[in-house]
Chains A and B, each alone.
Chain A
């Protein structure tokens, strides 16, 4: 298996633009997580899905952020409109278990909002 695949690896956009980050989890994993990483706040859980259903989105910062998982092999994280404070590395991870098993992270999408 190729592991968790994220795209794009780097995104530079201007404030107010829509940003869509994509993730393909490892086949057979029932859980998918979106994390945001910044120097100040470290790794923050934004949302996670189980069998394509959002379970906990309490980490989503505000209504500008939305995430979907239309099928078992694809998820998106959308920011609309984007702001400079959204600049961060966004990681997708998948797992067999909700949190008591190994998380397999993608290589991340580095977002810069000017």
Chain B
């Protein structure tokens, strides 16, 4: 089945700087790549997604890029704010299953 890996596991950034989280996937047939944000004590919430026919998508301060050849995709957060501190999960849909990465803890230092 699909295997999704995320790097780095923990990321600390100064407020106002950018944060980048990278994920790799194994199934070349995967065609949908969402990103979820999980705040403490809550369930994950979708923040942005991208489909395989698009290379980049942007929504205000967040963007996602997809490289199908290399089978990796990245989340970019610009002008980070304290409320961006959370765990971020990438996922890939392939073989009729949505597989999640293990998550990245992002800490924004005021």
Contact = CB atoms under 8 A, between A and B. Distances in A.
Contact of A99 (B42, B97, B101): B97
Given A99-B93, A100-B31, A100-B93, A42 B100 contact: yes
Interface in B38-79: 41-46, 49, 51
Task: Sort chain B's interface into a size bin.
Answer: 20 to 34
Chain A interface helix/strand/loop/mixed: loop
A45 B98 contact: yes
Nearest to A42: B102
B93 A43 contact: no
Nearest to B4: A42
A93 interface: yes
Interface stretch (A14-22, A66-74, A76-84, A102-110): A102-110
Nearest to A103: B46
A108 B43 contact: yes
Interface string A51-62: 000001000000
Interface string A31-55: 0000000000111010000000000
Max chain A C-beta neighbours (<10 A), residue from B46, B96, B98, B103: B98
Contacts of B98: 45, 99, 103
Max chain B C-beta neighbours (<10 A), residue from A4, A56, A105: A105
B102 A107 contact: no
9 contacts: A42-B100, A43-B103, A45-B98, A56-B96, A99-B97, A100-B93, A103-B46, A106-B43, A108-B43
4 shortest interchain CB distances as A-B pairs: A105-B43, A42-B102, A99-B98, A43-B100
Given A42-B100, A107-B41, 7 more contacts: A93-B43, A100-B51, A102-B46, A105-B45, A107-B42, A108-B42, A108-B43
